[in-house]
Amino acid sequence: MLVDNFIIALKGLRHRKLRSWLTMIGIFIGIAAVVALMGLGEGLRGAIIGQFGFLGPDVLAIRASGINFAGPPGQAVVKGLTEDLAEKIQRITGVEVAINRYIETGTIEFNDQQDIGIAWNVPEGKNRKIFEDMLNLRTQKGRLLKDSDNFKVVVGNDFTKDDKFGKAVQIGNRILFDDKEFEVIGILEKRGSFIFDSVIVMNEDVLVDNFRDGDSVNAIAVRVKELKIIDNVIRDIEKLLRKERDVKEGEEDFTVQSPENALQTLDSTLFGVQIFISIIAFISIIVGGIGITNTMYTAVLERTKEIGIMKSIGATNSTIFSLFFIESGMLGMVGGIVGITAGFILSHGFAFMGRLALGTELIRADVGIGLVLGALLFSFLVGLIAGTVPAYQASRKNPVDALRYG
Amino acid sequence: MFKMKDTIIKLDNVWKTYQMGKVKVNALRGLNLEIRKGEFVAIMGPSGSGKSTAVNMVGALDIPSKGKIYLEKHDISKLPESDLAQIRGKKIGFIFQQFNLINTLTALENVTLPMIFQGIERDERLETGKNLLRMVGLQERIDHKPTELSGGEQQRVAIARSLANDPEVVLADEPTGNLDSKTGQMVIKFLEDLNKKGKTIIMVTHDTNVAKHANRIEFLKDGKIIKRMKGG
């Protein structure tokens, strides 16, 4: 019965093709906007999680931050983290390990072509295994570093692309980092994040001895013993750093970042943008819904005689109601389907253009199944709500008057 | 030969009053009418005589302002619209002067529509629909839309549709009014055949040549029956 009503309603819509399509435009634009922007936002979020993703949920990153508020005005100098801090942090209860991280920017040369890239270290000794595990390092080809590997490196997956240096880097090839020659002994698995995919990984001694200026550490990676005590550990580390760096609470010149609070910062920004876009899209959908109501009123009026005929051959009020109700819902849903398709294409199109323009892999669109189903259900509901009053009016028509109409 | 027996429809002192602005118009003024099972009754009368209103009462499309209507001994004069719709769907088949087919649906879909409203399964609907269209000689035209059919063909689709739920009563309101006399004759022939098969036929017409095919002719004027004649 319901299926049959769907079929009858669909035939009605197809009979009024142009009007049906025009009516759907409002819904179409709104849904397309929502899907495109939610998809882009989701993709961006996914990409940024990917960037932070080298830190597991139980890993903290400690960095010196931009400006030392305690210093004289205008003296915007970053006070680096000292090398001995890691050891002190290691002694805090609940800390499993604290590892110094050195990150150096330099010129990479291969096949007579140059590029700017970054190198970071893998610690030696017993921390090597823990660190590899923390960062989930695995090779696609070759092997990871050992303690004795001087002037040997593992490179990110992007080095296997022909366009990076004109030809792909192979195991056994020699590459230059800031004019020092290294042998490539391993290629990392693709991670989708430039922190891994464009990196040169070398042993700590090699990096520190050859490339480091000054005596500060770029970051300290800390893994906690248990995830549930992470907040306590953060508090203790902050207390220690305030003491070590002689700053007051609220004037910290360092950050202790957990993946969670990094994501929160990102989410609140993305959320603001998405809310704004959603409000605009919502207005469009409301207008679209009013358009559907209007079209349905016209349809009810036009088909007054048809309603009379159907009633005379046994259609009850509720049957007539459901026919128009379903028709209206389908107007919304088809508008939604077209909108989702357009939104999908738009978001991937924007992401593609963004990647071309900015030259980063970071911009990705991710139109998930939840978003698609949600948009579909929402557009159907808008159609249903928009059709309620017209459908009710249709159902209440007196059969005698309706038959005499037109 | 079919035997006449029980009363199927009875109108007992039926009044229908319409409010036209400030004026009250009595379309029916104490109409009495009794139709027995298997009869072929014609209702005649000039325009404004209350014919249409009477047909609406007989067809359960409307309820009287006063008086009672019985369908198979049940009083239907005070039933709500949803019950009346069920009665129309099951017990009464309508044939209209304007054919009143749904233009977006094919002949077969039009014929099966009353069965959808009764919740009959698809396979059964299609089989019955095809049989009915074959009976009216339109088996070749089942997939045509009403606009692709001639007036006579459309009225035959309407006849097939009126029989979809195998009703007790077929109610034909000026069934030949929009047809040429030859096509009209064919439609009347169908109604006669149906009557021979046992269907009760109630036909409204102003054409005496058409009315004479009925067993009985009731003349309506000013909302009342003024004369009764044997037809045939």
**A102, A120 Cβ separation under 8 angstroms:** yes
- Residue B206: domain span: 7-230
Nearest CA in chain B to A12: B104
Pair A7, A24 in one domain: yes
Q: Which residues pair with A142 in a beta bridge?
A: A186
Whether A61 and A39 map to the same domain: the answer is no
Q: How far is A297 from chain B (nearest CA, A)?
A: 19
Q: Does B141 touch chain A (CB under 8 A)?
A: no
H/E stretch holding A180 reads strand A180-188
Same-domain check for residues A285 and A309: yes
Q: Give the number of other Cβ atoms within 10 Å of residue A8's Cβ.
A: 21
pLDDT category of residue B229 using cuts at 50, 70 and 90: confident
Q: Summarize pLDDT for A109-119 with one digit per residue, the tens.
A: 998 888 888 89
Contact B100 A312 (CB under 8 A): yes
Mutate to test the interface with A, among B116, B118, B145 (most CBs of A within 10 A): B116
Query: A232 with A295, same domain?
Result: no
Q: How many other C-beta atoms can be found within 10 angstroms of the C-beta atom of residue A307?
A: 25
A330/A361 same-domain check: yes
Per-residue pLDDT reduced to its tens digit, B123-138: 999 999 999 999 999 9
**Domain presence at residue B2:** no
Cα separation of A286 and A34, whole Å?
13
Residue A276: the pLDDT is 84
Overall domain count for chain B: 1
pLDDT above 90 (res B232): no
Structure tokens at A326: 């379903």
Asked if residue B8 lies in contact with residue B40, where contact means CB atoms within 8 angstroms, the answer is no
> B81 at the A interface (CB within 8 A)?
yes
Nearest to B100 among A1, A4, A309 (CB): A309
Same domain for A219 and A83? yes
Mean pLDDT of the region A299-323: 93
Inter-chain touch B81–A316, beta carbons under 8 Å: yes
What digits encode the pLDDT tens for the residues B11-42?
Answer: 999 999 988 888 998 999 999 999 999 999 99
Helix (H) or strand (E) holding A310: helix A304-312
Gap from A27 CA to chain B (nearest CA, Å): 26
Q: Which domain holds residue A168?
A: 103-209
Please give the DSSP secondary-structure letter assigned to residue A66: S
pLDDT at A379: 92
Q: Is the pLDDT of residue A350 over 70?
A: yes
Instruction: Say if residues B154 and B99 touch (Cβ distance below 8 Å).
Output: yes
* Helix residue ranges per DSSP H, A162-258: 162-165, 194-197, 204-211, 230-245
Please check whether residues A97 and A232 belong to one and the same domain. yes
Half-sphere exposure (Cβ direction) of A372: Cα atoms closer than 13 Å = 10
- The answer, for B94 touching chain A at a CB cutoff of 8 Å, is yes
User: Looking at the partner chain, which of B88, B109, B165 has a beta carbon nearest the beta carbon of A312?
Assistant: B88
The C-alpha atoms of residue B118 and residue A13 are separated, in whole angstroms, by 24
- As separate numbers, helices (DSSP H) first and strands (DSSP E) second, chain B gives 7, 10
The count of structural domains within chain A is 3
**d(Cα A270, Cα A260) in Å, to the nearest integer?**
15
Q: What is the CATH number of the domain that holds B176?
A: 3.40.50.300
For chain A, which residues lie within 8 Å of any Cβ of chain B, measuring from their own Cβ? 1, 4-5, 8, 11-12, 14-15, 305-306, 308-319, 398-400, 403
Range A14-26 average pLDDT = 85
What does pLDDT average to over chain A?
85
For chain B, how many residues are written?
232
Residues of A within 8 A of B59 (CB-CB) are 312
| One domain, residues A236 and A276 | no
B113/A1 touch (CB, cutoff 8 Å), yes or no? no
Check if the beta carbon of residue A188 is closer than 8 Å to that of residue A140: yes
Q: Where are the beta strands (DSSP E) in chain B?
A: 7-20, 23-36, 40-44, 66-71, 74-75, 92-95, 169-173, 200-204, 216-221, 224-230
**Contact (CB, 8 A) for A2 and A325:** no
A140 and A94 housed in the same domain: no
pTM metric for this prediction: 0.69
Q: DSSP letters of A95-139?
A: EEEEEEE-EEEEEEEETTEEEEEEEEEE--TTHHHHHHHHHT--E
* Any domain includes B1: no
- Average of per-residue pLDDT across A257-278: 78
Decide if A54 contacts A136 (C-beta within 8 A).
Answer: yes
A146 in the same domain as A16: no
Do the chains contact at B89 and A315, CB–CB below 8 Å? Answer: yes
Statement: residue A53 has pLDDT above 60: no
| Gap from B131 CA to chain A (nearest CA, Å) | 19
